[in-house]
Chains A and B, each alone.
Chain A
């Protein structure tokens, strides 16, 4: 499991997937399944959130168990701004990103002074603090969450239209994945991956390890905030559940199944998990037992996730 390296084959696979996703709304409408366009947006938004966590865990080696805080912060920022009459996406979305980044900076600056299981617990603790804070604030909806009555406005684009919104989400995800692929091959990306491999040695080579980890943590948090901003637009509700530790857990499961430390791992995991949720829940409400078995199988036999199985992940020889 060395440094991440893209192969031409993987780039072709990504391009084909992108084309298929571009054709998806048309396909759904032809099949008269328009409902699924909005569902597809949801899947892609979770793919973005999982990808942001994968940057932190998979590339940076920081097992953060509090990623939901940033996801939720983005969603609440957009909903709160809308309450105050700010509906412009050009304003609200970057702000959501900035709020999440700032929160990540605060939490990271303290948490990154710890290692291993302490880091896991302290990020969890911070995220739960944010969760209880939001739940206790009645003016922001408390337990019930905050409704977003109309979607953000974005220039001449009509985001109320599910198909348009879907394309905006798809474009955002595609850009983030492109940026992450670039980052993984950049100096910074190599540094954070090497810190994941051997932190002490990086320090001994003269790298200010803490700064690199913090920057990585903040980028991950900011992207989660962006995902949150999109999600509240998709669902129309900023719910405290977005901030709950189970949400952090879900994102973790996604990247473990999809492929830790692979650019596309988060996407693969989010798609698989949400598709399973959507279709298996009708068969049995206990479908998650099956999910547990899948997770177990992945951890035991495919530690690099589904992406690893297909050679989309880190090289492993």
Chain B
């Protein structure tokens, strides 16, 4: 990672409304490559909506998203993944009936630039041993090695969250959108996840949506605060902690 930081993602005045309710109201945000950028805000502030808009699951009503020099406006979700933008889900979203290893191999296989197209109808996948090896590697990184043969649905909640991270990592993203990776985790599982994210942060830029403030202040290089669909503050953790408006709008409520 170079010392000189460049802008990886720029969100400019993005709005999204559902009927009369503005989930996002001219939200703006800049992510530099290499940083862990946490997005915090009260429930209903629009955090998950922003993730949906960034990943392409929802179209924005107004505004612009520039990722790595590309305007994302008209790009489908799968095209954004190819550009290096991958997301995890707040509610675990896996191939629950498939084996853990198959979950990861499907994710690894998706990288067209490395493996070529999946429009291959005759050659057995079992010969694609490089994909399988890489999947085992990823499982080791998220400490799920011994569970490769289980069905995803048989894993514990925390293990499923780790598998979720492995799937996103397998796409080799430049930017990882992590939507509440610690949601519903017990304290021990949370510690494990924080360590995992810390480890990953050395390699990949992250936008982290998280409610656990201890984790946020430990992991984040910078923090943005989303309230009522608008980013009201953005800066280093110490600055955010001290920010008056933020305390009033958000942190104050929690304490």
B111 proximity list for chain A (CB < 8 A): 206
Task: Name the residue of chain A whose CB is nearest to the CB of B126.
Answer: A185
A43-83 with Cβ < 8 A to chain B: none
- Contact between B78 and A197 (Cβ–Cβ < 8 Å)? no
B47-106 with Cβ < 8 A to chain A: 55, 57, 76-78, 81-82, 86-87, 89, 93-99, 102, 105-106
- Contact between B121 and A182 (Cβ–Cβ < 8 Å)? yes
| Chain A contact residue count (CB 8 A cutoff) | 29
Contact for B94 among A3, A201, A208, A209, CB less than 8 A: A201
A200 within 8 A of B: yes
Report, as a range, how many residues of chain B touch the other chain: 35 or more
A191 proximity list for chain B (CB < 8 A): 106, 109, 118
- Contact between B128 and A197 (Cβ–Cβ < 8 Å)? no
Closest CB of chain A to B149's CB: distance in Å? 11
What string of 1s and 0s marks CB contacts (under 8 Å) between A165-205 and chain B?
00000000000000100110111111100100110111111
Task: Name the residue of chain A whose CB is nearest to the CB of B116.
Answer: A187
- Contact between B110 and A207 (Cβ–Cβ < 8 Å)? yes
- Contact between B97 and A204 (Cβ–Cβ < 8 Å)? no
Contact for B121 among A188, A200, A205, A206, CB less than 8 A: A188
- Contact between A194 and B171 (Cβ–Cβ < 8 Å)? no
- Contact between A197 and B124 (Cβ–Cβ < 8 Å)? no
Task: From A182, A197, A215, A317, name the one whose CB has the most chain B CB atoms within 10 angstroms.
Answer: A197
- Contact between A205 and B94 (Cβ–Cβ < 8 Å)? no
- Contact between B81 and A187 (Cβ–Cβ < 8 Å)? no
Tell whether A207 pairs with B118 under 8 Å between CB atoms, given A1-B97, A185-B125, A185-B126: yes
Task: Name the residue of chain B whose CB is nearest to the CB of A205.
Answer: B110
Per the bound structure, the CA–CA distance linking A187 and B117 in Å amounts to 9
Per the bound structure, the CA–CA distance linking A186 and B124 in Å amounts to 5
Per the bound structure, the CA–CA distance linking A197 and B102 in Å amounts to 12
A2 within 8 A of B: yes
Task: Name the residue of chain A whose CB is nearest to the CB of B55.
Answer: A204
Per the bound structure, the CA–CA distance linking A34 and B171 in Å amounts to 59
A198 proximity list for chain B (CB < 8 A): 93-96
Task: Name the residue of chain A whose CB is nearest to the CB of B98.
Answer: A2
A317 proximity list for chain B (CB < 8 A): 151
Per the bound structure, the CA–CA distance linking A191 and B118 in Å amounts to 7
Contact for B119 among A188, A200, A205, CB less than 8 A: A188
- Contact between B126 and A201 (Cβ–Cβ < 8 Å)? no
B248 within 8 A of A: no
Tell whether A207 pairs with B93 under 8 Å between CB atoms, given A182-B121, A187-B128: no
B105 proximity list for chain A (CB < 8 A): 190
Closest CB of chain B to A16's CB: distance in Å? 23
Tell whether A205 pairs with B124 under 8 Å between CB atoms, given A187-B118, A188-B118: no
Contact for B98 among A182, A186, A194, A208, CB less than 8 A: A194
Per the bound structure, the CA–CA distance linking A1 and B95 in Å amounts to 11
Tell whether A204 pairs with B125 under 8 Å between CB atoms, given A2-B98, A194-B106: no
B89 proximity list for chain A (CB < 8 A): 201, 204
B112 proximity list for chain A (CB < 8 A): 206
Task: Name the residue of chain A whose CB is nearest to the CB of B107.
Answer: A205
B121 proximity list for chain A (CB < 8 A): 179, 182-183, 186, 188-189
Tell whether A186 pairs with B93 under 8 Å between CB atoms, given A206-B78, A206-B111, A206-B171: no
A185 proximity list for chain B (CB < 8 A): 124-126
Contact for A186 among B57, B87, B122, B151, CB less than 8 A: B122
Per the bound structure, the CA–CA distance linking A201 and B103 in Å amounts to 10
Task: Name the residue of chain B whose CB is nearest to the CB of A201.
Answer: B93
Per the bound structure, the CA–CA distance linking A205 and B167 in Å amounts to 8
Contact for B125 among A190, A208, A209, CB less than 8 A: A190
- Contact between B120 and A205 (Cβ–Cβ < 8 Å)? no
Interface CB pairs A-B, < 8 A, 16: A2-B98, A3-B99, A179-B122, A185-B124, A186-B121, A187-B120, A187-B123, A187-B128, A188-B119, A194-B106, A200-B57, A204-B81, A205-B106, A205-B107, A205-B171, A206-B110
Top 6 A-B pairs ranked by shortest CB distance?
A206-B81, A187-B118, A187-B120, A205-B110, A206-B110, A197-B95
Known: A204-B81, A205-B110. 18 other contacts (CB 8 A): A3-B99, A182-B121, A186-B122, A186-B124, A189-B125, A190-B125, A191-B106, A197-B96, A198-B95, A203-B77, A203-B78, A204-B55, A204-B86, A205-B106, A205-B167, A206-B111, A207-B118, A317-B151
